[in-house]
Amino acid sequence: MAGLENWDQLTPRQRAVFFCCDGLKSNAKLASQKTQAIGICGQDIFDRYYLDNGNEARIKAAYDKRDPRLKQTIVTPYEPVDCFTAGLNGNENMIGKQLRWPLYLQGTSGGDFWLDKRTSAYYCYRKYVRFLKGELIDRQRCYTDFPLIRYTDVILQWAEALIELNEFTPAKNLIDQVRARAHIPGITIGDLDAMREAVRYERRVEFPVEAVNFFDEVRWGTYKETKSPGLRGGGYTPPNRPITRKAGSRRRNPSTSWSWRTLPTCESFWSRISRTPTASFRRKTAPKPSPSSNNRPAT
């Protein structure tokens, strides 16, 4: 990775050295934080790669000039973020906190942004998360509705269908609509494989945290190669046995079973749908129940 020396040669634990906050060598108040960092990345790695002044700027620069949807999805290291925690900072919003590690200063503006898991470097979702006072109903709920389907999803499915029909120019125009909203340049038309990868990239960066990508990767036949490597020391291996219908199915002896191997690929999937999406999606709000004698307040 640019700017991070020997990143590809280091293990995930050793790479933690790049995420450490400044001053671990020179600031005596951070002695316990220094011990914590060395306990994860190792003394030799710490001595070789850690910058006492400039470590934060180095890792922060690694996230600059990237697809802007990255920072819209997660809180990246040393990127200021405003947030609120009841009972802290005079019960007011804390301004300009940063995702620093190891944790040192909490509960105040300009301090460290942290969650319950703070013994190692981590990412935190920004997408669909509300941080400020008054934006939450309670710890589990906010005022933002979870989308069932987004217009961007329809546009990119349409583009994907056109690509499978070798209609690359209209597919490019649709993909570029999505990229223009993100303020990034349009794509260049290539061959079938290049166009497939272009629309798949857009879907991967547009729909994190929306329960979309899993089904995309299975449909494309790429789930195993994209999700298995590197997860929890070896990765998730899809089950070899088929996934059958629920036991409560009306059919006592279901003959249809599915596994990750037998789901339709993109070619067979898109051959079954129309070129132009015609369905309209509207949010429907259930009418409020009318007052009755059973729920009127007592007088």
Pairwise CA distance, residues 114 & 107, whole Å: 10
CB 60 within 8 A of CB 76: yes
What is the predicted pLDDT for the residue at 159?
Answer: 97
Residue type, 267: E
What CA–CA distances, in Å, run from 5 to 14, 42, 158? Answer: 12, 16, 42
Predicted confidence at residue 121, as pLDDT, reads: 60
Rg of the chain taking only CA atoms, in angstroms: 25
Q: What's the residue count for the chain?
A: 299
What letters, b where the CB count within 10 A reaches 16 and e where it falls short, cover 24-40?
Answer: beeeeebeebbebbbeb
pTM exceeds 0.85: no
DSSP-derived 3-state class of residue 214: helix
| Sign of the dihedral through C-alpha 52, 57, 61, 62 | positive
pLDDT for res 88: 87
Closest CA to 227 of 213, 241, 240, 239: 213
Tokens describing residue 225: 């190669």
Alpha helices (runs of H) in the chain, residue ranges in sequence order: 31-41, 43-49, 55-61, 69-73, 151-164, 168-181, 192-206, 213-220, 223-227, 266-270
pLDDT tens digits in sequence order for the chain, 299 residues long: 667 889 999 999 999 999 999 999 999 999 999 999 999 999 999 999 999 999 999 999 999 889 999 999 988 998 888 988 888 889 899 998 888 888 888 888 988 887 665 666 677 888 888 888 888 777 677 777 778 889 999 999 999 999 999 999 999 999 999 999 999 999 999 999 999 999 999 999 999 988 899 999 999 989 888 876 554 433 444 443 333 334 333 333 333 333 333 333 444 434 443 344 433 334 444 444 444 444 443 43
- Whose CA is closest to 42, among 1, 12, 7, 13? 13
- The Cα 80–Cα 99 span in angstroms is 8
- Judging by DSSP bridges, how do beta strands 141-142 and 81-83 pair with one another? unpaired
Q: What is residue 259's predicted lDDT score, i.e. its pLDDT?
A: 36
